[in-house]
């Protein structure tokens, strides 16, 4: 099992979207997945409740955690019976994020691909490093671009990649592409597989992209000794 936290104190950086997309993809591949919604805005809990209201089954376990005193124990308990425990956090640096990070094998830091956001993401990296320092254990982390342009690689994106490489900030090669499908999974409280081509364009491209990001996360987990057996 692997516990993965999604952090970035910058709101709207793509944490919840990436968490839900990866949860769906890992579960589609047969992984046992649990998601902890540790954001008081409870976007993933709403996804869960809307599905229940529409009579749709739940493809993986979802549980809310709003008390910071509970998060560590909950992550540990869920890790015993799941291959992946994804922890979606609020867009603020708070004690909940700190506690979640200390129980995580990997921290993913989604960021919008802009120079401003790249600078703000370095604040998120500092938070991970501070936490690592406190617990005297490296907490592996990776930046993940959360809204790449679907078309040709933009010049901004090239500059951001170069800056991250220069500062030696570990970043996934694959990023989540800006796709309507990633908004519509919330709109229709659906999985990517359940979206209808009549409602959403380029679903197939979104699925392929999600698979590519998931592949890379699995390979990072392998590298840090948390590969699936």
Beta carbon of residue 84, minimum distance to ligand ATP (angstroms, whole number): 18
Residue 99: name its binding partner from Mg ion, ligand ATP, none (Cβ under 5 to 8 Å by kind): none
Q: Distance (Å, rounded) from C-alpha 113 to C-alpha 182?
A: 16
Residue nearest ligand ATP, Cβ-based: 91
* Nearer Cβ to ligand ATP (43/163): 43
- Considering only CA atoms, which of 78, 43, 38 is closest in space to residue 61? 78
- Considering only CA atoms, which of 65, 108, 100, 88 is closest in space to residue 186? 88
* Nearer Cβ to ligand ATP (25/226): 25
User: Which residues on adjacent β-strands are paired with residue 3?
Assistant: 85
- Considering only CA atoms, which of 93, 75, 79 is closest in space to residue 37? 75
Beta carbon of residue 17, minimum distance to ligand ATP (angstroms, whole number): 3
If DSSP codes are grouped into helix, strand and coil, which group holds residue 12? coil
Q: Distance (Å, rounded) from C-alpha 27 to C-alpha 58?
A: 11
Beta carbon of residue 104, minimum distance to ligand ATP (angstroms, whole number): 16
Beta carbon of residue 171, minimum distance to Mg ion (angstroms, whole number): 20
Q: What are phi and psi of 103, to 5 degrees?
A: -100, 5
Both tokens assigned to 196: 């209808």
Both tokens assigned to 28: 């589609």
User: Which residues on adjacent β-strands are paired with residue 107?
Assistant: 5, 141
Residue 178: name its binding partner from ligand ATP, Mg ion, none (Cβ under 5 to 8 Å by kind): ligand ATP
Contacting residues toward ligand ATP, per CB under 6 A? 11-17, 39, 91, 146-147, 176, 178-179, 182-183
Residue 82: name its binding partner from ligand ATP, Mg ion, none (Cβ under 5 to 8 Å by kind): none
* Nearer Cβ to ligand ATP (12/59): 12
- Considering only CA atoms, which of 211, 2, 6 is closest in space to residue 121? 6
Residue 146: name its binding partner from Mg ion, ligand ATP, none (Cβ under 5 to 8 Å by kind): ligand ATP
* Nearer Cβ to Mg ion (158/183): 183
Q: Distance (Å, rounded) from C-alpha 205 to C-alpha 217?
A: 19
* Nearer Cβ to ligand ATP (4/176): 176
* Nearer Cβ to Mg ion (16/200): 16
Contacting residues toward Mg ion, per CB under 5 A? 15-16
């Amino acid at each position: 099992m692997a516990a993965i936290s999604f952090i970035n104190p910058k709101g709207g950086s793509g944490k919840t979207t990436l968490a839900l997309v990866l949860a769906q993809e890992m579960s589609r591949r047969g992984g046992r997945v649990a998601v902890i919604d540790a954001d008081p805005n409870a976007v993933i809990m709403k996804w869960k409740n809307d599905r229940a209201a529409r009579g749709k089954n739940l493809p993986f376990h979802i549980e809310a955690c709003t008390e910071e005193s509970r998060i560590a124990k909950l992550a540990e308990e869920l890790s015993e019976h799941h291959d992946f425990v994804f922890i979606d956090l609020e867009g603020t640096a708070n004690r909940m994020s700190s506690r979640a990070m200390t129980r995580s094998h990997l921290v993913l830091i989604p960021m919008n691909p802009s120079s401003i956001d790249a600078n703000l993401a370095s604040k998120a990296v500092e938070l991970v490093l501070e936490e690592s320092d406190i617990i005297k254990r490296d907490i592996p982390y990776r930046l993940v671009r959360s809204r790449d342009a679907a078309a040709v690689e933009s010049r901004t994106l090239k500059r951001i990649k170069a800056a991250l490489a220069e500062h030696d900030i570990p970043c996934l090669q694959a990023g989540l592409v800006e796709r309507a499908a990633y908004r519509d999974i919330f709109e229709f409280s659906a999985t990517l597989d359940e979206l209808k081509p009549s409602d959403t364009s380029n679903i197939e491209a979104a699925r392929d992209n999600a698979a590519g990001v998931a592949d890379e996360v699995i390979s990072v987990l392998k590298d840090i000794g948390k590969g699936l057996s």
